Amino acid sequence: MSNKPITRETFIDPGYETVAATRTDMMFVLDGEDSVKKVPVPESVKESGKIPDGYAVDFLVEPLTLVVSFRKNGHTLEGQLPEGLIDDLKKEINGPTNLMITPTSVRDSKFQMLLEHHKKDLEDL
């Protein structure tokens, strides 16, 4: 049984940005001050595998949500989860259907709202 704590990083593959750059078809760009629009990922991004400056990769299903859910159910260590579950979840979390390229400011704002929403649940993280 692994005694490693379950953290957000438990579910994030180091290559997720490359997957988003090369395997997603659409991205979000700013459309005025308060809105975004969906546009095709430029071929230059797909070819380079690099996220453009001012943009970041966001998760549709945020890994932090998994951490909170597991903690609420008494699972704080990786070894408390069924064998293979972390690998299965990592595959889905880091897959192209769960990743989106979005303006960094939008991603950061969304993440801050999520942190605020789960503030009480995250006090011991």
The answer to whether 16 touches 99, Cβ cutoff 8 Å, is yes
pTM of the predicted structure, to 2 decimals:
0.87
Phi-psi region of 16 (alpha: psi -120 to 50; beta: other; left: phi over 0): alpha
- The CA distance from 90 to 99, in Å, is 12
Residues 52-92 have pLDDT tens digits of: 999 999 999 999 999 999 999 999 999 999 999 999 999 99
Model confidence at 123, pLDDT cuts 50, 70, 90, reads confident
**Span 35-57, pLDDT tens digits:** 899 999 999 999 999 999 999 99
| pLDDT number for residue 40 | 96
Percent of the chain with pLDDT over 90: 87
The candidate with the shortest Cα–Cα distance to 112, out of 53, 58, 36, 54, is 58
Check: CB of residue 45 under 8 Å from CB of residue 21.
Answer: yes
Q: What pLDDT does residue 1 have?
A: 60
Q: In what order do the strands lie in the sheet with 55-59?
A: 36-40, 26-30, 99-103, 55-59
Give the residue-averaged pLDDT of 20-25.
96
pLDDT score for 124: 62
